[in-house]
Structure 1
Amino acid sequence: MRRPADLRRPSAAPLPLLSALAATAVLLTACGTEHAGPGSTDARASASRDGTRIDDPGKDGVRITSLTLPSASPSPDRGDSVSADQLATEADSGVFAAYEVTNDGSEARTYSVVFTFVSGDGGAVTNQTETVRDVGPGQTVRGTVRAGRLPSTAPRVTGAEVLEVTTVPAGEAPAEPGTCPPSGIRVSADQGDAAMGLRVVGLHLDNCGKRPYTVEGYPLLELLDDAFQPVDGVEILHGSGGITTGAGPDEPPRPVRLNPGESATAGLVWRKTTGFGTPVNVPYVRVRAQEGADPVTVTPHLDLGTTGKLGVRPWEKTERQVCPDRTCRDSG
Structure 2
Amino acid sequence: MTRWVVGVAGAVVVAGAVAGCDVPPAPAAAPGPSVLRPPAATVAASPPSAAAPACPEGGVRLLEGPGDAAMGLRVADVRLVNCGTQPYVLEGYPEIRLLDGKRAPVEVTVVHGSDGITGAPSGVEGVPQKVELLPGQAASLGMVWRNLVTDSTVPAAEGRVLDVTPRPGAPRVELELRHSVDLGNTGKLGISPWKAETR
Q: TM-score range by the shorter chain?
A: 0.5 to 0.7
Partner of 1:268: 143
CA distance in 2, matches of 1:299, 1:273: 23
| Cα distance in 2 for residues equivalent to 1:181 and 1:231 | 24
Within a 5 Å distance, the mapping from 1:200-215 to structure 2 comes to 200-215=75-90
State the alpha-carbon separation in 2 of the partners of residues 231 and 248 from structure 1: 24
1:197 aligns with 2:72: yes
Aligned residues of 1:241 and 1:249 also touching (Cα < 8 A): no
Distance 1:308 1:290, change over 3 A: same
Counterpart check, 1:228 vs 2:103: yes
3-state DSSP of counterpart to 1:253: coil
Q: Is the 8 A contact 1:217 1:314 kept in 2?
A: yes
C-alpha deviations, 1:220-245, integer Å up to 9, x for none?
1112123222222x211111233222
Say yes or no: does 1:243 pair with 2:117. Answer: yes
Instruction: State the partner residue of 1:168.
Output: none
Percent of aligned positions that are identical: 42
Number of paired residues?
Answer: 148
Task: Give the 4+ runs in structure 1 shifted more than 3 A.
Answer: 179-183
Q: Distance in 2 between matches of 1:313 and 1:220?
A: 11
Q: Structure 1: how far apart are the matches of 2:124 and 2:98?
A: 25
- Between the two structures, name the one with larger relative contact order (CA 8 Å, sep ≥ 6): 2
Is 2:163 the partner of 1:292? Answer: no
| Residues 263, 319 of structure 1: 8 Å contact kept | no
Using the alignment, how far apart are the partners of 2:64 and 2:123 within structure 1? 20
TM-score for both structures, normalised by structure 2: 0.65
Name 1:17's counterpart in structure 2. Answer: none
Could you say what the CA RMSD is over the residues aligned between the two structures, in angstroms?
Answer: 2.6
Q: CA deviation at 1:219?
A: 1.6
Match of 1:312 in 2: 191
Q: Taking structure 1 as the reference length, what is the TM-score of the superposition?
A: 0.40
Greater C-alpha Rg: 2
